[in-house]
Amino acid sequence: MRPPTTRQTAAARTWALAALLSLWGTLSAQAAPCEAGAYGTVGQSIAVLAPKPWIPPPGLGYLLLDGRYGSTASPTSPVQCEHGRVRVQAPGEARVVLAQRSFKRTALRFTVAGAELAGELLEPLERGAPSQRPLVVMVHGSETEPAIHNTRALMLAAQGIAVFTYDKRGTGQSGGFYTQNFELLADDAAAAMQQAQALAAGRFSKAGYWGQSQGGWVAPLAATRSRADFVVVSFGLISSPIAEDRDQMLLEAERLKLGPRERDWIAQLSRATAVLVSSHFSTGFEALESIRQAIGHEAWAHSLKGEYSGDMLRMQDRDLRRVGRAVFDNLELIWDYDAEHTLKQLSLPMLWIVAGQDREAPAQASLASLAKSQAQGKPFEVYVFPDTDHGMNEFLELPDGSRRNTRVTDGYFRLLGDWILGRLAPPYGRSQVWR
C-alpha cells in the first residue's frame, strides 16, 4: 500500500475535525435539557412538554398533536430536545424542528358559593388580530388532579385558541370541598366563563365550553347559565349516572358472554341499587339482599363492576346499611340527572366527540339521544372515533380482558382545534360523522 500524500493527510485531518464537531453538536443537542412548554405552529406538528410526577427529572412528559405521548427520557422517545426548540420524529419520516411558542399567562382568584377558586388564562402570543381568537373555558372530569397547566389545554392553546383553566373546588389551588354536584359545578363553570370573558375583553371573537368526561354533564348546564357561543363535549354522557352504571354492567355481560337470564339479573340489580342511591340509602336494602342471595354465589357476579353496583352487591347487608351512604353517596352526585332536559334548552352549536369503545361512558344511549336532537334541528355535530376508549385513548386488549392505553387517537386534537376555529378540514384520523 502506498503511503498517503501530504494533501491526503491534510484532507483526512479536516474530515476528522468536521466529524468531531458534528458529533459534538449532536451530543450537545441531545444533552440539552428539555424545557416545559409548547412547540410548533398552527397547521404543523405540535409538541407539548410538561413535568410528570412519574418521570424523574430532567425528563418531561410529551404529548404530540397526533396523539402520541410518553417520556422524553425514554430511549425510544420521538422527541429530541435542543435549546429553545425540539426535533420530533414523525412516523416513517424525518425529524421536524419545532420552535418554542410563547404564551401570556394571567392568574386570578374568584369566589363562587363560598369557595375561592384558582384560575389561569392562557393566550397565544402570535401575529394576527387577538380579537379573532376563540376563547375556551375547560371543564374537566371527576378527577381530583388540578386543571391549571393541563397539557391538553396547552395543546389547544398551541393551535391558536385562548384557554381558561381553573382548579375545581377542593382540588389544586382552589378552596372549598370536592363535590360531584352538577348544579354547584355548573355554577362554578359559569362563573369561570364570566371571569374569562372579563379578563380577555377585546381579545376574543367567541367564547364557549370544553367539557371532558363528567364535564360533559356540567358544561352544557353551565351554558344555560352564562353567555356562551358554543359547547364541546369529549367522551361525555347524556344518560344519567344510574344509567351509566347499568350500561357499564351490560357491556361487561357482553364481554363475559352472559345469557338473557344473567342479563335480566343485572337489570334487576341496577334497579335495586338505583333505589338505594336515589333515596340516599334510606330504602331498598331488602330488594338488594334478595338479589344478593340469588346470584351472590355466581362466578360472574364476583367480577361484576359497573360504576358502583358490583361493589354494593359484594358488600354484606349489615355493612351496607351502616356505611353505604358514607362510601357511595358522599359527594352529592345527582344520580338521576336529566341531561336531555338541559340539551333541550340549548340551541347553540355543539360538538360531541365520542369514543366508540368507551367502557367508562358507554355511548349508545347518548348517540341515540343526539340523533334525536339532530332530527329536531339542533346544531349538534357528532364525531365517533372507533376502537377508542375513555379519554380518546387507543388501547391493546390484554388476555384477561383489561386494556392498556397506547396513545390518544390520531385526529382528536386537530378536530378539537379546527372545529372551535371554524375551519373543519376532514378527515380526522379514523373518525366518522354520526348522523
Can you say whether the dihedral through the CA atoms of 73, 78, 82, 85 is positive or negative? Answer: negative
The pairing of strands 115-124 and 162-166 is antiparallel
DSSP-based three-state secondary structure for 194: helix
**Cell numbers standing for residue 34:** 428539555
- Among 184, 136, 145, 143, CA closest to 337: 184
pTM of the model: 0.90
Q: What is the pLDDT along the chain (435 residues), one digit of tens a residue?
A: 434 444 444 444 444 444 433 433 444 444 467 899 999 976 678 999 999 999 998 999 999 999 999 999 999 999 999 888 999 998 777 789 999 999 999 999 999 999 999 999 999 997 667 778 999 999 999 999 999 989 999 999 999 999 999 999 999 999 999 999 999 999 999 999 999 999 999 999 999 999 999 999 999 999 999 999 999 999 999 999 999 999 999 999 999 999 999 999 999 999 999 999 999 999 999 999 999 999 999 999 999 999 999 999 999 999 999 999 999 999 999 999 999 999 999 999 999 999 999 999 999 999 999 999 999 999 999 999 999 999 999 999 999 889 999 999 999 999 999 999 999 999 999 999 998
Domain ranges of the chain: 22-99, 103-240+337-433, 241-328
Per-residue buried b or exposed e for 293-313, using 16+ beta carbons within 10 Å of the residue's own CB: eebeeeeebeebebbbbbbbb
Pick the CATH number of 103-240+337-433 from 3.40.50.1820, 3.40.50.2300, 1.10.40.30, 3.40.50.300: 3.40.50.1820
Query: Which one-letter amino acid corresponds to residue 61?
Result: G
